[in-house]
Chains A and B, each alone.
Chain A
Amino acid sequence: MTVLTLARRTGLVLGLPAVLFAIWWFATAGSTDFYVPPLSTILGKFGEVWTGERLLSDVVPSLVRLLTGYLLAVAVGVGLGLVVGMHRGVRDVLEPVLELFRAIPPPVLVPVIMLFAGIGDTMKVIVIVSGCMWPILLNTVEGVRAVDEVLSDTCRSYGITGPSRLWHLVLRSASPQIVTGMRQALSIAIILMVISEMFAASNGLGFTIVQFQRSFAIPEMWSGVLLLGLLGFALSLLFRVAENRVLAWYHGLRRAQRNP
């Protein structure tokens, strides 16, 4: 039974990608277009390009920048979100400014940040943080504001205050919204990692893909694009697994409310 459902779910998840890959495979098979090489060629290059030395010299640095920037953004977004969400005065002052910053497309910040942070890893991490903290911050604010009044009164009357209240009431109760923000932020973080590497870098996935394109190594370039796609897919899968653990109560609650 469980094996069957697992097989069924795997089929559902992988079915459409498999079909799309098949279409790609047959549509480009025997292609002589220099810019659209056959998928077989791309896949052939894939192993060659990404398993050897480049794994350490390009993939790992990219991932380190991505995770550093993302985790920092989570820390800043949740921390600031708690403060803004819990204090009305702070919210009234900051909210218009936050909306303004959020409206700036993050990639345009890259040249600006380069001016004062140079072109090293710090710049890339700052770009990622400054771009992907907004959904986390704004969702945290919403989540904190939505903390139930009755539950809040219950905590007060039982003397659950300070750090205990912050952890057991505010953070846990806002966690569904925080996770939503974190999910949006993850894809933004990947985009910004690539973009920041395309602007100015000496290694990394974005840098390597641009290098391949400039040196007309077209199948290699495509294999890089494919790798980025797979990376995004793997990260979102990982995120889903973590979410299902952390928010098991929330999904259960939602199911219970749907079928009383």
Chain B
Amino acid sequence: MLDVRNLQKIYTGRNRSVEALRNLTFHIGAGELVCLVGPSGCGKTTLLKCMAGLIDPTDGEVRLDGRPVDGPPPGMAVVFQEYGRSLFAWMNVRDNVALPLRRKKLGKAREKELVDHALEVVGLADAHQAYPWQLSGGMQQRVAIARAVAFEPKVLLMDEPFAAVDAQTRAELEDLIRRLWRELGVTVLFVTHDIDEAVYLGQRTIILSTSPTVVLEDLTIDLPDERDQLHTRSSTRFAELRAHVYEQIQRAKHHNGDTHAAVADRSDELALHKSES
């Protein structure tokens, strides 16, 4: 479905160049929900923008359904962290959700149906006429999610979408993403710096190093499919996985592409140790 192969990104400035991504390779299957987690400033956003076709990698490639991504692919939707800056302040909620659909020329009835349904599932059925700035941060991010849902993407990329909302809203939105993923059968890649979120949400968690970034570990989250904030988060397995990711992130802070080999060995050991316990 979504393949990242030997991805490297070097930003060249006037006097120096910064290697944000060293060498990333991973695969996301159709219908998977995968979290990407890493320490702050580990090039998560750079990676996501490469995958979304918004910037070109220096080396390596991203493939969607076997086709190389060299611009924003039609079947992909992106939800950004900055909800306040990703919505059109001059359009009401309904028009914000409907605008990307116009290009698809689906016909008025189908378009209306998609918009109505998308706003319904994110819980904004009675906010059609409101402007984004009249809504709270969490509701604004719901609008951005509704826009992505109405677009009917095959892949949904989310770049720390809940980093700027309060904890309670965040929990609600996490459950919303799980629900949408299951109902729509969409492939989701969720970038976050929050360890709890990375463990709670996904089927897999890809742990990244600091920049220049490599994949430290591709961890399967073997929690039951039915998850809720109360029971899942208080289970022993959740605590173990959380502790493991936490340790890896701590380690990642001192490791990057240059010291990768040593870290990879250690992580194998650790993963082995975990599965035994």
Contact = CB atoms under 8 A, between A and B. Distances in A.
B80 A154 contact: yes
Contacts of A249: 89-91, 131, 133
Q: Is the interface of A mostly helix, strand, loop or mixed?
A: helix
A157 B78 contact: yes
Contact of A156 (B72, B82, B91): B72
A180 to B, nearest CB: 16
A249 to B, nearest CB: 4
Contacts, number: 68
B14 interface: no
Contacts of B53: 157
Interface of B is mostly: loop
A226 B87 CA distance: 47
Interface stretch (A12-20, A127-135, A158-166): A158-166
Given A150-B80, A156-B54, A256-B134, 18 more contacts: A150-B86, A153-B78, A153-B80, A154-B78, A154-B86, A157-B76, A157-B78, A159-B74, A169-B88, A172-B88, A175-B90, A249-B91, A249-B133, A250-B90, A252-B131, A252-B133, A253-B131, A257-B133
Interface in A125-183: 148-151, 153-154, 156-160, 164, 168-169, 172-173, 175
Nearest to B148: A158
Contacts of A158: 72, 77, 99-100, 103, 147, 151
Question: Number of contact residues on A: which range applies?
Answer: 20 to 34
Given A168-B99, A172-B88, A249-B90, A157 B72 contact: yes
Interface residues of B, number: 27
B161 to A, nearest CB: 12
Contacts of A148: 85
Given A159-B74, A252-B134, A168 B82 contact: no
Given A168-B99, A175-B90, A256 B133 contact: yes
Contact of B103 (A151, A157, A164, A253): A164
B52 interface: yes
A157 B100 CA distance: 9
Interface in B147-183: 147, 151
Q: What 8 pairs across the A-B complex have the smallest Cβ distances?
A: A158-B100, A150-B85, A256-B133, A249-B90, A157-B72, A157-B78, A253-B133, A154-B86
A172 B102 CA distance: 18
A248 to B, nearest CB: 9
B103 A160 contact: yes
Interface string B60-83: 000000000000101011101010
16 contacts: A150-B86, A153-B49, A154-B86, A156-B54, A157-B53, A157-B54, A157-B78, A158-B99, A159-B72, A159-B74, A164-B102, A173-B90, A249-B89, A249-B90, A249-B133, A253-B89
A151 B100 contact: no
A159 B101 CA distance: 10
